[in-house]
Structure 1
Amino acid sequence: MIEFHLLGGMAVTVDGAVIDVGPARQRCVLAALAVDAGRVVSVDRLIGRVWAQDAPPHARATLMSYLSRLRGVLGDAVVVRRTGGYALQVDRSVVDLHRFHDLCARARAADDRQAVALWRQALGLWRGEALTGVDGEWAAGERDRLDQERWEAECDLADALLRLGHGEDLVADLTARAGRRPLDERVAGQYVLALHRAGRTADALAHYRRVRQRLVEELGAEPGAALRELHRRVLDADPALGASAATAVVPRQLPAPPGPFTGRVAELARLDEARTAGTVLISAIGGAGGIGKTWLALAWAHRHADEFPDGQLFVDLRGFSPDGRPVPPEAALSGFLTALGTAPDRVPAALEDRSALFRSLVADRRVLVVLDNAATADQVVPLLPGNPACAALVTGRTRLASLIDRHGARHLNLDVLSPDEARALLAARLGDRRVAAEPDAADELIALCGRYPLALSITARQAHTRPAVPLAELAAELRDLGLEALDHDTGLPAVLSWSLRDLTGEQRTAFALLGIAPGPDIGLPAATALTGRSPTWTRAVLRVLEDVSLVERRPGNRYAMHDLVRAYAATLAPPEPQRRAALERVVDFYLHTALAADRLLDPHASPIRPDPPAPGVHPHPLPDQAAALAWLDAEHAHLLAAQHTAAAGHRHRVVWQLARALIDFHQRTGRFHDELVVWRAALDAAEHLPDPATRIRAHRNLGSAHARLGRHEEATTHLHRSLDLAERHHATTDQAATHYDLALAWGARGDDRRALDHARRAVELYRQVDRPVWEAVALNATGWYAARLGDHDTAREHCRAALALNREHHHPDGEADTLDSLGWIDHRTGRHREAVGHYHRALDLYRTLGNTYMAANTLDGLGHPHLALGEHDLAREAWREALALYREQGRDDDAERVRRQLDDLDRRPATDPGGRGARPRA
């Protein structure tokens, strides 16, 4: 068995016997590969690690020679050439450094008794100073870093032993450690406690005085709160400091600060302002990946760490990590609780109990909590301290709106750096003199990188490792090659010239097509349509692109590109015929799947007969309504983008049909702004189509969207235009539908009399064309507006007739709408118990149908009969749920009205619910 030893003299053993791996420089090459075992290390990075700034003229050739010799000693299967560089292709467990890291991670997650054994096993891997015998600047820096890791592990072992009651047996070791770092307050606290437990309290107090004196003299600072508190307890002979108890646990979990950190002055100031507001700071730092969220959070946290003497907690919640497995709040809380001194066997099982215990432990402490890479507010809320003296920093790619609503989070969105900040970043990495010597070239580099922090960092690293190359030459290279001039092994999903060179022609074409695909990312079925190949072939290509960091795989078998990568991919688009055919295929996929989903949601709508999809395109199978809703929700942004793509390609029928396919979904989810957008595009497309029905329905649907948004003049203008066209072309069904939409429009304007007239006309026309389902819908509208005008008998008669028709023809949407109307009528006529029954049956149907828009209205109405019956708790429950839905749907006026109803629940009658209802589609 081959093993690599870095924690001491650099050595390689095979079955326990040491083998010769060559001279010092060659050992440095091997060490540079071993610290990243299993990962590709680029040639430039290897040169930087071996020679730093002193690379000889033929460094690349010399490096190749070293690598060739190492492959001769270790084998081609161990030192492997990969795209972009070389890798030590071994299991990481055969490298003692990685075994050390693994044991440390396991120790931090274990209980104290297990942790002691794991810490000791980890520290036992050390045979002296790390990387002995390996020279150079990189090795020296790595040696210092590893020495700090070893020191932290030794401190963690001492803490675990002290928590287990040890004391006198630790004195000798802690004496030496305190001597090595006399200003380390953590070690000082451990030594004071060990001396006190050994019966040497006087020595313990004397050591505290010496540490305090040195801190004051050398740093001008008093000891931290934890060490001062321990000193007080030793003076008071606190019995809890005996062997049965542990010292106060002060977690220090912040990762190393980013360095050098530049810019973000305004953002840091905003965080300072939020902190000084005197409340818990929940700063939800948002922005795209690589924009610098974590850097900013850690920079601020380290600058303010002294304001939180009781500890700093950190967790990466992995909300947008490639593995797609966010850290559950239960697991994060378990780590926090043990870090704060809770024995693992005392950590509660339930999330609520863990969260409550966490808030209790920090209730009287000043602790900073950094929650990095959060996916949802539900993931974050249990981890928030309830103490105003504490602070929480949250980073994530989403806005976490409910965190803002429910907890007053101060949202801070990050954009690219300002020009001055971008220049400061380059200067910090390359030196002021080099940047000042070529100001125009520096400005061009900044512009070519789009002031994106991670792209700038990679460019700066390229320049740093090539000090003899002028910045102007680097700018020209970046200008000519685009992002393929940047490395791929840095974490930025950037495009590399050598990554693309290793792709086949077909793989390059697929990559280029992904750059022009509609929507923010793409699922495998859509990607299959885009490429025009089989799912198996497409999946294999995506895997190749993922392997070279050109795409990122996300949960749900979706694939995304970083914006910079996507911009570069778009420049590689194939010839126009091939490009146009690919876009037609993917748009056909979205259209035909959307139409299939729509037929499931609304089987009574007038059928749409699109042209057959392009050869090889297969719509995504959707077995039921739930699957249809889920697909439309997941692909909504892509459907809007597909319509835009179709419009750009002058596919006018497709533009119109995509708008038509989304009507029911937009109604169910309340996305009326999107409805407005798609029907504006559809109306433009209809002007190029010969069938007058397309213009009739485009005007009608556009008018209805305006009405839903309160744009009354625009609504009636389009609806009357639709009616005029329908009458001119003797389109009776379209006339009926437009009269119905005019009823809704006038009802929204408060003219219930005119609304009732249009609803009655719609009933007459639907009867003429024998459309019983839509006759039922119009009957319900007639009943609704009659009720609004106070004619409750007529209203009830029409709604009951509508209910019978809906049930006879299996139209659950219309049945739900009619039950909602009957609930309102019953409430207005004093039949409150019957109203509750009708509302509940409507609500059950809406929930089954996924119609959250109407469910909100029904919940709003339900609260009123509950209130009339004296059932205040039930009214409150219904209105709270309605309020949450209104807020999610952006219905601010409705939300404000229901909030007032809740405020006034026990003081005065609540206000009356507004009008609502579905509309027919054709």
Structure 2
Amino acid sequence: MEFLLLGPVQARLVDQPVHLGARKQRLVAAVLALEVNKLVTTQRLMDLIWPEAPPPTARGIVQGHVSRLRITLAGADAKTVSLTSHGAGYCLRCDAGRIDVHRFHTLVQQARGSDDDTSRVALLEQALGLWRGPALADAAPEETRLRLTQALDETRLLALEERLAAQLRLGLHHTIIDELTALAAEHPERHQFTGQLMLALQRTGRVSAALQVYQDAKRLLADELGLDPPDELQRLHLAVLRGEDDGTVPFSEVVASPTPRHPPATLASAEDSDEQVAGLLVPRQLPPDIVDFTGRTAELARVEAVLDKDISGTPVVVAIDGMAGMGKTAFAIHLAHRVAERYPDGQLFVDLHGFAPGVMPISPADTLDGLLRAIGVPTQRIPLHTADREALFRSHLADRRMLVVLDNVLDEEQVRPLLPAAPRCLLLVTSRRRLVGLDQARPITLGAFSADDAVAMFTQIIGEDRLAGESAETIGEVVRSCGRLPLAIRIVASRFRARPAWTLADLAQRLGDERRRLAELSAGQRDVAGAFHLSYCHLDADQRRLFRLLSLHPGADTDGYATAALAHISPACADRLLQDLVDVHLLEEEQADRYRFHDLLKTYAAEIVTAEEPYDTRRLAVTRLLDYYLHTAAMAMDAVAPYEKHRRPHIDPIAAPRQDFASEGEALAWLDAERANLLAVAEYAARHGWPTHTCRISAILWRYLQLRAHSSDALRLHNLALQVARLHEDRINESHALRDLGALYWRLGRYPTALDHFHQALALFREHADKDGEAYALSSLGALCLRSGRHSEAYDYHGKALALFREVGNRSSEAYALNDLGLVCQQSGWEAEAMDYHRQALALFREVGNQAGAGYALIELGVVYHAWSRDDEALDHHREALAIACEVGDRNLEFEALHDLGVTFHATGHLQEALIHQQRALELASRLNQLDDQARIHDALARTYRDLVLLDQARAHWERALALYTQLGVPEAQHIRVTLQAL
């Protein structure tokens, strides 16, 4: 059986057609044949059949198409063709030679390997003869078809160019003029066809027709793109004008031959060449300036400042780098026009095709050949060898002030032979790579536009009239969807300008669908995904694999250890590959050892990983990453709060390399740096089938989030864990989430909600006989009772909690229970008993190494000393607690220390000292968004302002305290109300 994809999708057995079904089923067959003997995932088939949004039954529909195809193929040719199922997708198994696409590729490769042009033509004609029309012509909508066949179509055009080039070399120019005329008209963007047509016309004596072809191409480029013809066409035009065609025409060497060959040339000595200096041309090769150039003010100023101040006696080399679509060429051209008058001896411009579709990068030898011709060196005086050309070029620039722009450079080796030695020359180089090997170069890296520059560019292209009445928010949304990438903004703005029926809201909606965004960022030869693809294709296999896998990371950035876990490689290897991707601007390193994607690049990488990595491989990589974050977070919390290790879930060691934390400070620094990633990982795990990871991350991080007072993060994470646990009927993790949410609601002053969560948690802890959890819930219920003035109940709860903590041997929690019993005694007026409990708590906290707990015990001891009018001792205890709070980063403890220092200073008559500490406490309480703390500090500030006889300020703070206490529903509200009435 044969599969025919180069035209309408068909299958044949001998000469009989095999019916492949309706359109969508033929698309499934075509994709499986394109990927013959490889796994094609069900998800990829769904994405291709329904690019907008698959229906709920999509997976079943795909299974139905595959089932029918399997029956058809088995009935037609079961011996040589089979369609097999695997967990993640399907695989068509047969000899690739039975599929015309693969026969086409084989013939093209054979032609390229041939040294004989006659054989090359025959093989390429056989390959091109397999095409019966556009590939996959009737199997998919045009957008999907192009997505599948873009590379294939490009290979066909390259094969055409190579076959025509071979025919030119064989002297068959008469026979191909009609074909070239049609191809040049159909593909005006492919300058190879234009150049080949000019050569064929010239060689048949039709010089005027060849010149007219050039003029037509020049006019088309100027009208549609505002560009001059490329260097190759300009040189060919000059050769036709001069009547030169002895096989050394540069265009015929660079384009018309797949392997450029350099025929013998007459070597010119340096002395002979120097005699021609006076007769050299003054080239003006810069493309037209970009009329709507926007932004880059700082970068332009940096280069011009260098030119103003440079007295080094060496040429200025500026290496402009940035990711694809960042506007490097536009920047270089605009900069060149701004400074062109400083270089009266000429301006040279060469596109080196370092990253160009279907075109080999131009070698230094060929580039030097073109540069020498551009400054007027006769063909016969251009040396054969690169080193001689290099010396000749530098000799001619020695006494000249010239500007040279080398655009689209692949690497340093492509540039190094072209560096001028003349001290008054300027060389501008653009590349997607950081050319760190050019020691004398001054680097300029172009990043994404600022928000203002992005809006300015969008507005300038479209025109303010068209945008009249549109909201600034919608414009901002559009440029954000473009990732503030100049190429993307230009594409979107040009498309919007060409569609008067669209509103900006229509455009924003089209760009809002991330699955379609890259497809929207394509217009003619401008294509963001295509630009990214060129950069991707220049990576080696390891770099490409890592680039793909990094898109699976659910967070905003990554480091070497997380990357190593994701890709299953060593941290050293991960670091090297990450740096490689930074060097080619496929990753950004905004701070040392932290790496992130540009938004559009991540979207592109996500499409690539889905297309090229099987589902099982992707899931295994994500599992390794989630395990890494879970394990490392547990290790970090073991360093921060070792006394609570028993309360955190047990995490099995991982095989991947991991970070070790030498101190609590290192662990907290890691948690601070990874907080956003840990939350993103937890949310991703909940949505995509790792529910246990979500619950464990929540249980591991609760103390850290409390220490740092990240209340909104804690609320999101613990609620997510609760939802996941209930969905999966995981009663143990449900109890932990309820406990952590209860503690959070308590701190936020939402006492009824906290009470409800603790009662639910208590019931679950008792259900699965978790005595430590039961004790924690009892202790928390005691704190709530105390807050509402129910001292006897509070004492009872804390006493039961203390007994349970001692039963299970939880020494740190035992200390907290002792401290809580001291609080009950303190508020009941039993200061001596309170002092005894707090001293026991402090000793126990210090014994188990719980610094934060010791800080809270010191606070309460200070309160008792203050009640006994021993204020110097109270201040000492509060100051020690404040020092501990700052050392361990516990912001709640810091607030308590500041508040109680303020109270004590106020009581001793040091009102200004009191005010300083209370204002710091108010600022902190506002940041923490904890209502009870805010109410307490407003009350304290009001008392201080009253004693300073600043009654307006006192009233304002009491009114705020009253509003907060009323909202909390606590007894203090009535006391404040009475105070205000008496003021």
* TM-score category (smaller protein): 0.5 to 0.7
Alignment of 1:694-773 (within 5 A): 694-749=733-788, 751-773=790-812
1:483 equivalent in alignment to 2:528: yes
Aligned counterparts of 2:420 and 2:892: Cα–Cα separation in 1: 53
Deviates more, 1:781-790 or 1:764-773: 764-773
2:476 is matched with 417
1:868 equivalent in alignment to 2:907: yes
Between the aligned residues of both structures, percent identity stands at 25
Paired residues of 2:858 and 2:880 also in contact (CA < 8 A)? yes
2:409 is matched with 82
1:907 is matched with 946
Seen in structure 2, the aligned counterparts of structure 1 residues 794 and 503 have a Cα distance that, compared at 3 Å, is: same
Aligned counterparts of 1:31 and 1:837: Cα–Cα separation in 2: 71
1:552 equivalent in alignment to 2:833: no
Seen in structure 2, the aligned counterparts of structure 1 residues 19 and 734 have a Cα distance that, compared at 3 Å, is: farther
1:665 equivalent in alignment to 2:704: yes
1:531 is matched with 567
Alignment of 1:345-424 (within 5 A): 416-417=475-476
Aligned partner of residue 608 in structure 2, secondary structure: coil
Seen in structure 2, the aligned counterparts of structure 1 residues 899 and 703 have a Cα distance that, compared at 3 Å, is: closer
Aligned counterparts of 2:637 and 2:365: Cα–Cα separation in 1: 61
Aligned partner of residue 644 in structure 2, secondary structure: coil
Seen in structure 2, the aligned counterparts of structure 1 residues 741 and 430 have a Cα distance that, compared at 3 Å, is: closer
Letter in 1 for 2:452: K
CA shift at 1:23, angstroms?
5.3
CA shift at 1:813, angstroms?
2.4
Paired residues of 2:555 and 2:680 also in contact (CA < 8 A)? yes
Aligned counterparts of 1:829 and 1:42: Cα–Cα separation in 2: 73
Paired residues of 1:84 and 1:499 also in contact (CA < 8 A)? no
Aligned counterparts of 2:358 and 2:280: Cα–Cα separation in 1: 18
CA deviations on 1:716-765 (whole Å, 9 max, x unpaired) are: 22211221223334332222111112223334555444333322221122
CA deviations on 1:787-814 (whole Å, 9 max, x unpaired) are: 1233322222211222222233333222
Aligned counterparts of 1:906 and 1:671: Cα–Cα separation in 2: 31
Alignment of 1:627-666 (within 5 A): 627-666=666-705
CA shift at 1:901, angstroms?
4.4
CA shift at 1:768, angstroms?
2.7
Aligned mate of 1:96, from 418, 424, 445: 424
Paired residues of 1:826 and 1:835 also in contact (CA < 8 A)? yes
Letter in 1 for 2:878: Y
Seen in structure 2, the aligned counterparts of structure 1 residues 426 and 728 have a Cα distance that, compared at 3 Å, is: closer
Letter in 1 for 2:746: A
Letter in 2 for 1:512: R
Aligned counterparts of 1:605 and 1:658: Cα–Cα separation in 2: 15
Aligned counterparts of 2:814 and 2:846: Cα–Cα separation in 1: 13
1:463 is matched with none
CA deviations on 1:591-643 (whole Å, 9 max, x unpaired) are: 1111011111111114356454554x222111110101111111101111111
Aligned counterparts of 1:731 and 1:798: Cα–Cα separation in 2: 26
Paired residues of 1:511 and 1:569 also in contact (CA < 8 A)? yes
Letter in 2 for 1:38: A
Aligned counterparts of 1:86 and 1:546: Cα–Cα separation in 2: 19
Paired residues of 1:524 and 1:538 also in contact (CA < 8 A)? yes
CA shift at 1:25, angstroms?
5.5
CA shift at 1:553, angstroms?
0.7
1:501 equivalent in alignment to 2:537: yes
Aligned counterparts of 2:941 and 2:636: Cα–Cα separation in 1: 38
Letter in 2 for 1:532: H
Paired residues of 2:570 and 2:657 also in contact (CA < 8 A)? no
CA shift at 1:767, angstroms?
2.5
CA deviations on 1:51-83 (whole Å, 9 max, x unpaired) are: 99xx9xxx9999979993535667588969734
Seen in structure 2, the aligned counterparts of structure 1 residues 839 and 644 have a Cα distance that, compared at 3 Å, is: same
CA deviations on 1:163-183 (whole Å, 9 max, x unpaired) are: xxxxxxxxxxxxxxxxxxxxx
Aligned counterparts of 2:641 and 2:458: Cα–Cα separation in 1: 53
Aligned counterparts of 1:820 and 1:93: Cα–Cα separation in 2: 73
CA shift at 1:513, angstroms?
2.1
Aligned counterparts of 2:894 and 2:596: Cα–Cα separation in 1: 34
CA shift at 1:648, angstroms?
2.9
Seen in structure 2, the aligned counterparts of structure 1 residues 431 and 836 have a Cα distance that, compared at 3 Å, is: closer
1:68 equivalent in alignment to 2:375: no
1:568 is matched with 604
CA shift at 1:84, angstroms?
10
CA deviations on 1:295-331 (whole Å, 9 max, x unpaired) are: 779999xxxxxxxxxxxxxxxxxxxxxxxxxxxxxxx
Letter in 2 for 1:766: F
Aligned counterparts of 1:297 and 1:29: Cα–Cα separation in 2: 23
Deviates more, 1:872-881 or 1:667-676: 872-881
Aligned counterparts of 1:599 and 1:434: Cα–Cα separation in 2: 55
Alignment of 1:29-178 (within 5 A): 37-39=318-320, 68-71=366-369, 82-83=409-410, 89=416, 96=424
Deviates more, 1:700-709 or 1:679-688: 679-688
CA shift at 1:290, angstroms?
2.9
CA deviations on 1:559-616 (whole Å, 9 max, x unpaired) are: 112222222222222321111111111111111111011111111114356454554x
1:292 equivalent in alignment to 2:619: no
Q: Whose Rg is larger?
A: 2
Aligned partner of residue 642 in structure 2, secondary structure: coil
Aligned counterparts of 1:542 and 1:862: Cα–Cα separation in 2: 50
Aligned counterparts of 1:864 and 1:27: Cα–Cα separation in 2: 78
Aligned counterparts of 1:680 and 1:791: Cα–Cα separation in 2: 39
1:779 is matched with 818
Q: Structure 2: state its 5+ residue gaps.
A: 1-269, 291-302, 304-314, 322-326, 338-346, 352-356, 373-385, 391-403, 429-446, 460-470, 949-953, 969-983
1:540 is matched with 576
Paired residues of 2:409 and 2:415 also in contact (CA < 8 A)? no
2:248 is matched with none
Q: Structure 1: state its 5+ residue gaps.
A: 1-13, 101-287, 301-411, 460-473, 488-495, 917-922
Aligned mate of 2:557, from 521, 524, 527: 521
Aligned counterparts of 1:62 and 1:613: Cα–Cα separation in 2: 49
Aligned partner of residue 643 in structure 2, secondary structure: coil
Seen in structure 2, the aligned counterparts of structure 1 residues 612 and 416 have a Cα distance that, compared at 3 Å, is: farther
Paired residues of 2:749 and 2:932 also in contact (CA < 8 A)? no
2:721 is matched with 682
Seen in structure 2, the aligned counterparts of structure 1 residues 35 and 713 have a Cα distance that, compared at 3 Å, is: same
1:308 is matched with none
Aligned counterparts of 1:431 and 1:649: Cα–Cα separation in 2: 33
Aligned mate of 1:598, from 637, 640, 647: 637
Q: TM-score, normalised by structure 2?
A: 0.50
Paired residues of 2:478 and 2:511 also in contact (CA < 8 A)? no
Letter in 1 for 2:899: D
Paired residues of 1:712 and 1:749 also in contact (CA < 8 A)? no
Paired residues of 1:42 and 1:85 also in contact (CA < 8 A)? no
Alignment of 1:119-518 (within 5 A): 290-293=449-452, 416-417=475-476, 438-439=499-500, 446=507, 450=511, 477=522, 483-485=528-530, 496-518=532-554
Aligned partner of residue 595 in structure 2, secondary structure: strand
1:843 is matched with 882
Seen in structure 2, the aligned counterparts of structure 1 residues 26 and 293 have a Cα distance that, compared at 3 Å, is: closer
2:431 is matched with none
CA deviations on 1:220-241 (whole Å, 9 max, x unpaired) are: xxxxxxxxxxxxxxxxxxxxxx
1:829 is matched with 868
CA shift at 1:422, angstroms?
11
What count of residue pairs does the alignment treat as equivalent? 573
CA shift at 1:97, angstroms?
6.3
2:830 is matched with 791
CA deviations on 1:175-198 (whole Å, 9 max, x unpaired) are: xxxxxxxxxxxxxxxxxxxxxxxx
